[in-house]
Every structure is written in structure tokens, then in C-alpha cells.
Amino acid sequence: MEQRWAEKKCFKDYIKASLKKCNVPFSQLETLAADQDTWRSTCDSGLATFLAAIDQGAEDRHARRRATTDPLTIGPCCPTCNRICVSEFGLWSHLHSHSRPQVQQHNVVIDFDGLQQASKQASIHSMETMQVTPTKNSSI
């Protein structure tokens, strides 16, 4: 990235910098380009070197971001589960997870006769419940 007060670079300067990153010697550019096979192999190897350097730099930055020097040992501690929080507010928020009542899940099943039946677990109706009895008004 250019500095604000620096002189603007020409296109030629960007090309030189790109070739330098790809390990292509700028002084021998014409002689390399004269032979097509040599030029192609130089470009391929230079591009592979450039991409490997980019990948290695990304891995290094990722490792620096993820590196933990020391796990958190100083801070307020939860009296219930001994979790260490970063701040008092974090501990206060964490304590709400212990004070919430445990709600049991109830599934409501409506029978064919229209009555609600609550069950604590999902149940499959037996075949007798699923049978429909014809009414007097039905035209079956």
C-alpha cells in the first residue's frame, strides 16, 4: 500500500514488483520471453512460488490470531459450574443460565375425534386410533 505522501508508482513499477514476487528476473525478461517453453516454465514456477508464499502468509496470520498464550485464569468464577468469566457482567449473564427453570417439552396430539391429548414424548398412534369410523351422514 502506498503512503499518502509517496510518489505514485507507474505501471512498470507494479510489473517489476509482481515479477520480483514471482522470482522472475526483470533484467532477463526479453531473453526468457524469446523462448516460449522457457517462458512458460518460468511463469508456472514463479506463479507456484507466489501462491505458496501467499498461502504460507495466510497460515502464519491464522496461527498468530489463534495462538493462546495462557487460558483465562483470572476473573469471576461461577459458583455452580466453576466457569471462569471475563467480567462481572459476563458472570451475571452466565448465572441466568443456571436460574432458568427446566421446561419439559410436551407434544400435543389431536385425535380424530377432536380432543387434545398431551404426551411427554412423541408417540405414534396405534392403528386403532388411526381408524376412522364412518358417520351416519357420510356417503361412502
Give the model confidence (pLDDT) of 11-41 as tens digits: 989 989 989 988 888 888 889 889 999 999 9
pLDDT at 111: 62
Hey, which bits of the chain come out as E strands? 107-110, 116-119
Number of neighbouring beta carbons within 10 Å of residue 42? 20
pLDDT for position 41:
92
Reduced to 3 states (helix: H, G, I; strand: E, B; else coil), residue 77 is strand
Over residues 64-75, the mean pLDDT reads: 74
What's the whole-number average pLDDT of the chain? 77
Cβ-in-10-Å burial (0-12, 13-18, 19+) of 27 comes to exposed
**pLDDT at residue number 75:** 83
Query: Between these two residues, 134 and 47, which has the higher pLDDT value?
Result: 47
Contact by Cβ (8 Å): 88, 76: yes
DSSP state at residue 91: H
Please give the pLDDT value at position 125: 44
What pLDDT was estimated at residue 48?
94
For 53-57, 83-87, 110-114, which range has the lowest pLDDT when averaged over its residues? Answer: 110-114
Residue 106 in contact with residue 119, Cβ under 8 Å? Answer: yes
Q: Read off the pLDDT band of 44 (50, 70, 90).
A: very high
Q: What is the pLDDT of residue 60?
A: 94
